[in-house]
Structure formats: structure tokens, C-alpha cells
Structure 1
Amino acid sequence: MNLLATLRIALNALRVNKLRSMLTMLGIIIGVAAVITMIAIGAGAQARVEDQIKSLGSNLMIVMPGSTTSSGVRLGAGANQNLTEDDAAALVREIPEVQVAAPSSRGTRQIVAGGNNWSASVYGINPDYLEARDWPLASGRIFEPHELAGSAKVALIGQTVATQLFGDMDPIEQSIRISNVPFTIIGVLERKGQSMLGQDQDDVVMVPLSTARNRLFGNIQGKLRRVGTIQVKVREGADMKQAEESVREVLRQRKRTPPDQEDAFTLRNLTEILQAREESSRIMALLLAAVASVSLLVGGIGIMNIMLVSVTERTREIGLRMAVGARAKDILTQFLVEAVTLSLIGGLVGILLGAAGSFLVAHFAGWATRLSPESIVLAVGFSAAIGIFFGFYPARKASRLLPIQALRYE
């Protein structure tokens, strides 16, 4: 008997007991739908973390001022404004693994353009900052050397600021006022989206570092080259741990920190932090899929149970088929095909429900989901494997019946 004829017989047998077949498939349908939905949610979460890693920039470390003590009271991190542009230059000069070290200062200011105004973060930067953050321009140009040296009143703005102040109008060459200081917009940054902390990275205005220090944030005597942070980008392929140790060693030497004292700065390796978060997201996705797979196991047990009942009910039929020449292999194939067909049909319906569930979760819950072809292929293959695994024992039991005993069965 060929496989096509066996499949036709199996489908006819399932059609005779439609309700029972549907109820048997229900476990597989629920299991596959749950696995597809959970994998889509987990993949969406992982993709979101990957997007956050890309938005921050690759191989990135951030150096921030450390804490300080005033009148016996230890102030928090960042209170000791002891980082300078010279420190950034030293990192690039003395550490081969460092591609760029971009000093920057930050403050929040009210931005006015015509009749519109908006509060945004204002950064004092140089072009190395954009390279460190992998942040290209959507339009316009970056700061020129004479603008950086001469505290020029030019600015780059993020997409959020551009939308809030100018709507659909092109902001290039438009004027804005920051703390009543007029600036000319020379560039618009590409969209970055939210950071891993949920902050809008596009809600920014960037001006030359010297401009921020001399015209916006105050020119404090003795702190002419002080900066708030240094963004350190390590070259591709370099050892991040080794680069981190080198950065720490150079800065400790420059700050003349004794061996028995803690660092006068704070160093954060964002790549390690985000990689740990990505790994946590991946483990959570696998955990969700594993929990959902339990329902597939239950569905497989249901298939085995129903197939055993079917073998018992059709014992006389099996005896008649053997009596007219059917071999044990034919009986085994028939019942195995029935089990696999039940499982595959349930798997296909489950895939449709899982895809719909992923869409509904993304639409109503606002969670990021990603339905991948690999998860669909995995679900179909897993469904077939469950049909074979749980259908083999009932099929083998049917194939080993003796014709005489089968015909006498009441």
C-alpha cells in the first residue's frame, strides 16, 4: 500500500469521528499557539535590546566624575567635576584600543523658535561625540574647526526638537534661542529612539563644547576645560575588558590617585551592561517557550490516548485488513499517519492562532513582538515530531495484533 492511499484511509478515519479529532487536536493547537506567541514576544524583547545597543553606539564606555566629600558629607557620583578635555585627549593618545574619546557637557534649557518653545537637553560636544555614539546626520553638516574653537553659535537638533519647534518645516538655517542666546541650526540628527531607561534620545540640542561652556553653562574660573562626561569608543575587535583597565589606569595616573584610594571617577562599560541585559532577555524568551511547550506535551499525551482508544475500537477492522493481505508495516504506517495528521493539522491551526495572538499582544499591550519564519518551521517540525513520538506506541500495538484474535474481538 502506497503512502497516498494510507493518507486517504487515515483522513477518512479521522473524518468519521470529527468531534473527537477536533478535541484531540485542541491540545496541539493551544500548545503551538502558545509557543509561537511566547517566542514572538521573547524575540521582540531581544530585538528591542539590540536596537538599544545600536542606538547607544558599539563598544562604548562612559567616564563620569566621581564623588567628593564636603564638610564630612560624601556627595553622590558626579559631584566632583574633575574631568577635562585633556583627559579625553590623553586616552586617545596613550591607549591604542581607543578609537575616540569624546568630552561633553550637558544641561537642560528652554529652546525658543518663533512662537514655539520647548524644554530639551543641551549638549556641548565636538564631532567625536557623534562618532562615539554612531549618530549620523539626517541633513545639514557637523561643526567646523573654526566653529569649535571660536564658540560659534551654531547647533544640531534631534528629531523630537525639530518636530516640536518646526513641525514639517525644514529647520536647517533657522534660528533658535537657548537661554536667550541666538543660535543657527546647521544640522538635524538621525532618529535614535528611546534609550534603555526609556528616555527620548532625540529630544536634544547639540552645540560646540566651547560654546556650551562659555555662553550657556557658565565660565567658572579655574574650570575652563572641565567636562561632564567622556564617551570612549573602543576599536572594533579590541578587548573591551583590557581597554577598560587601560582607561582606568591612565585616569588614575592623571588624577594622581594613590593605590589605596578608590577611583576619582566612575567608569561604566555600556557594552557589558547591555550584553547582560540581552542575555537575560534571551533566557526569558527560552523560559517562556519552555513553559508554553508543556501544553504541547499535554497535547501529545492526548493524541496517544485517543489513538489507543481508536486501536481498541477498530480491532476487528485491523483483523479483517490483515486477513485480506495487509502487512504489519501497513497497519503501523496507517495509524502513524493518523497521529501525524492530527498533530500537523493542529500545528497549522496553532500557527495561525499564534500569529494572531502575537499581533493582538503587540496592538493592545504595546509589547514589541517579532514573528520569525524559524519559529514557524520549528513549530511545524515539533508538531510532526510529537505525532510520531506519541503515535508510535499505539501504531505499533495495532500492527502486532494477531489476525485471529483481532477477528474474535468483541
Structure 2
Amino acid sequence: MITTLLGQAWHAMGANKLRTFLTMLGMVIGVSAVVLMMAIGQGAQLAVAQSISSMGANLFIVLSGSTTSGGVRMGGGAAPTLTVADAQAIAELPGIQFVAPIHPGTAQVVYGSNNWSTAVYGVTPGYLDVRNWNLAAGMPFADSDLRSATRVALLGQTVAHNLFGDEDPVGKSLRIRNSPFVVVGVLAAKGQSLDGRDQDDTILIPLTTAQRKVYGTQFQGSVRLINVQATSAEMMDEVQRSMTALLRQRHRIREGQDNDFSVRNLTALADSAAETTRVMSLLLGAIASVSLLVGGIGIMNIMLVSVTERTREIGIRMAIGARERDILLQFLLEAVIISVVGCLIGLALGVGGAVLVHFVTETAVVISGSSVLIAFGVAATVGIFFGFYPARKAARLDPIEALRYQ
């Protein structure tokens, strides 16, 4: 029964190939647009998730305060208001996982005939734990290197590539501001941060080495910023309050006075970026879904025209014994075939378009099985929904009136 009706539906559509193709085109465009937009949106979400993951989880940055010179107010981090002792005190607070004081700067680095300007951070061994940063080769420096202000360095992937090329940097010597340093390890790749900065374009050296032998500092033990990792996301608010209270007490800041430091919640910023990307992905999918609606309206329009043109045929079928449900099923199958075939072609074009976008623009795209199934299911539902009314109209025609129709 179904096989016979499918054959009749296929034959009826074949009698008007161009019209069938144009009707199907709406579904092809709609499905391909949905798959492509969802792939791009989910790719953007993945890129943001990877950037957030590369930063580390449950992170705060405590910045030293600003200063005023000649009436000019400098930005945050300009005044030496934070110290290593502040970091050690923060580490004793409940809810703290890791703490890493940092003294950042920029320096020209030289190896042989190659040179490169990069960020050189003076850090403690705990910095790798705070940032969840592994090593690709070599080993990290230890607390003994920190106490002795040893000239050792960990290279980011970008620095290692630009200075050493394919050569293994571990064990080699390079110069940072004309001071010799031994490369003890190479950091694993991190990629770009949320602000587009290359996290691999960096060198890590012991904090004491940076303070005493590279940058120098007027105030013993002062640092520009402190990275703090909380034990869990639920502890973030409590940790921020306790850190603020502790630093105000240590810096002897009276009630009503402004802080000489600032605390930034990187996790909140990352969550905001992730939510923005998620909303963008949903918006892209919603916009593309409009074309599915247009395709469904096109199917209903053409099926209504088909019912009008085949009114006499319907009357003959009823006269020789076709039941109302047979007519309904035949026209409904025609709408479903148009919708499903158009959906399959649209899926192929959408997946192909997503792959092309990835190779041409190097934009991350994610073609998930769920997005394909959703697009296919919605397209089939649209075909059934918009095909039902014309099929019902055909099935309810009066046989006598249908036979008289010219």
C-alpha cells in the first residue's frame, strides 16, 4: 500500500520536475543555512571555551594601585603597593588553592643570530599550577632557584620557535637584556587569550631573578600583580571579600579610603564572554531557521496548486474506490518526499559549506550530530505541517464536484 502510494507520489512529482525542484530549493537553502550557522556558532563557543580553559579555573588577578606624577594619574599596576608578603598572606586564607605573585615586563631576547622581543614574567613555581600550564619539554624551576635568583627560563612555544626553530632549546643558553639564562623547559601551547593576546609569546623566569637582575625594583619584594586561584566556583565571592579585607588591613587603609589595589574576577569575565557567544549561536540558528519557514510555506503553496490542478484526478480515484485517507496519505507523502530530499541535499551543502569556511578563513567550526538531527527533524516536521492542509483539502473534495471540475 505505502509502496504504491510512494510510487504514485514520485511519478506525480516527476511530471513537473522544475516546479518540484524549485519547491525543494526552499528546504535545501533552509537546512544548509541552519547547519552552516550552527556549525559556525558552536565553533565560536568551542574557541571561547578553549580560551577560558587555557586561562585556568576560578581565577582572580590582584593588581597594584595607581600613582599620580605631576598631575598625571597612571593606570592600575603603576604603584608598587603589592608585595610577595601580601601573596603569602593571601595563600593562608580559606578557599585559596594556589597563589602566584608576578613581576611582568618586556625584554629583547637573543640566541645566536636570532632575537625576539617578548613578555618576560618573573614568577614563582606556583604560577604553573595557577594557570594549569604543563611543560612540553624539560622541567620547571624549583623553590631553590627562587631563593638563589638563578638565571633559568621557561620558554613559550612562540618564543622557542622564533629563536630556536627546529632546534631543541632545553639546555641551551640565551640572553635576556644581555644577561645569560639557561633554558630548563618549554611550555605547552596555550593559544590566544580572550583578548587575542598570544599566550605562548612569553618567557617565565624566577621572580627574584626578575626583581634583582632583569628589571630591578625600588622596593624590595614588590610585585605588579598576584594571580589567585580559588578552590571552587562557589567560593569565588567569599574569597574576593576576604582578600579585599585582608589587603586593606595589611595596607592600613582606613574606613572610607579607596583601595590601593584592585581585584578582577577573570572567571566572571570568561563566563560573560561564553554567554555572549552562546546567545550569538542561538541567534544565528534562529535567523537561519526563518528560511526553513519560508521553505515550508513554499511547499504548502505548491501543494495547493497541485491539488487544484489534479482535482479531476482526485475525483476519478475516489470514484474507483480510493478512500479519504488514501488521498490524504498520497499528497502528504509528496510533501514529505520534497521536504526530506531537500533536507538531505541541504545537509550535504551545509556540511560542505562549513568545511569550506574552516579551510578558507581558518575559523573554528563544529558539525555536531545533534545539530544535523535537529535540522533534519525540523525540516521533516515543516514538510508534514505545511503539507497537511493541502492533503486534507484534497481528501475532503466531493467526488461528484471533483469529476465535474474542468
Return the match for 1:300 from 279, 282, 296.
Answer: 296
Structure 1: which 5+ residue stretches go unaligned? none
Do residues 174 (structure 1) and 172 (structure 2) align?
A: yes
Residue 42 of structure 1 contacts residue 369 of structure 1 at CA under 8 Å; is this kept in 2?
yes
Q: Which residue of 1 aligns with 2:31?
A: 32
Q: Which residue of 2 aligns with 1:151?
A: 149
Q: Which residue of 2 aligns with 1:187?
A: 185
Return the match for 1:286 from 278, 282, 295.
Answer: 282
Residue 156 of structure 1 contacts residue 188 of structure 1 at CA under 8 Å; is this kept in 2?
yes
Quote the offset at 1:255 in angstroms.
Answer: 1.6
Quote the offset at 1:71 in angstroms.
Answer: 4.6
Structure 2: which 5+ residue stretches go unaligned? none
Quote the offset at 1:375 in angstroms.
Answer: 1.0
Q: Which residue of 2 aligns with 1:161?
A: 159
TM-score by length of 1: 0.96
Q: How many matched pairs?
A: 406
For residues 74 and 366 of structure 1, the distance between their equivalents in structure 2, rounded to whole angstroms, comes to 42
Percent identical across equivalent pairs? 52
Do residues 41 (structure 1) and 37 (structure 2) align?
A: no
Aligned residue identity for 1:91: I
Q: Which residue of 1 aligns with 2:371?
A: 375
Do residues 354 (structure 1) and 350 (structure 2) align?
A: yes
Quote the offset at 1:136 in angstroms.
Answer: 0.6
SS of 2:50's equivalent? helix
Q: Which residue of 1 aligns with 2:381?
A: 385
Q: Which residue of 2 aligns with 1:275?
A: 271
For residues 297 and 279 of structure 2, the distance between their equivalents in structure 1, rounded to whole angstroms, comes to 27
Residue 33 of structure 1 contacts residue 351 of structure 1 at CA under 8 Å; is this kept in 2?
yes
Q: Provide, for residues 35-78 of structure 1, a one-character-per-residue CA deviation record: whole Å limited to 9, x for no partner.
A: 11111111111111101101111111111112223354432211
Higher alpha-carbon deviation: 234-243 or 185-194: 234-243
Q: Provide, for residues 75-123 of structure 1, a one-character-per-residue CA deviation record: whole Å limited to 9, x for no partner.
A: 22112211111111111102x1110111011111111112211111111
Quickly say closer, same or farther: Cα 1:99–1:280, change in 2 above 3 A: same
Quote the offset at 1:237 in angstroms.
Answer: 4.8
Residue 77 of structure 2 contacts residue 225 of structure 2 at CA under 8 Å; is this kept in 1?
no
Residue 97 of structure 1 contacts residue 238 of structure 1 at CA under 8 Å; is this kept in 2?
no
Aligned residue identity for 1:282: R
Quote the offset at 1:289 in angstroms.
Answer: 1.3
SS of 1:239's equivalent? helix
Quote the offset at 1:234 in angstroms.
Answer: 0.8
Q: Which residue of 2 aligns with 1:196?
A: 194
Q: Provide, for residues 330-349 of structure 1, a one-character-per-residue CA deviation record: whole Å limited to 9, x for no partner.
A: 11111111111111111111
SS of 2:92's equivalent? helix
TM-score by length of 2: 0.97
SS of 2:234's equivalent? coil
SS of 2:244's equivalent? helix
Do residues 244 (structure 1) and 240 (structure 2) align?
A: yes
Q: Which residue of 2 aligns with 1:82?
A: 81
For residues 347 and 259 of structure 1, the distance between their equivalents in structure 2, rounded to whole angstroms, comes to 67
Residue 102 of structure 2 contacts residue 121 of structure 2 at CA under 8 Å; is this kept in 1?
yes
SS of 2:154's equivalent? strand
Higher alpha-carbon deviation: 62-71 or 290-299: 62-71
Aligned residue identity for 1:328: E
Residue 58 of structure 2 contacts residue 233 of structure 2 at CA under 8 Å; is this kept in 1?
no
Return the match for 2:205 from 204, 207, 225.
Answer: 207
Q: Provide, for residues 236-280 of structure 1, a one-character-per-residue CA deviation record: whole Å limited to 9, x for no partner.
A: 353322222222222222222222122211211111111111111
Higher alpha-carbon deviation: 64-73 or 166-175: 64-73
Aligned residue identity for 1:343: S
Residue 125 of structure 2 contacts residue 143 of structure 2 at CA under 8 Å; is this kept in 1?
no
Residue 99 of structure 1 contacts residue 234 of structure 1 at CA under 8 Å; is this kept in 2?
yes
Aligned-residue Cα RMSD (Å) equals: 1.3
SS of 1:127's equivalent? coil
SS of 1:110's equivalent? strand
Quote the offset at 1:319 in angstroms.
Answer: 1.4
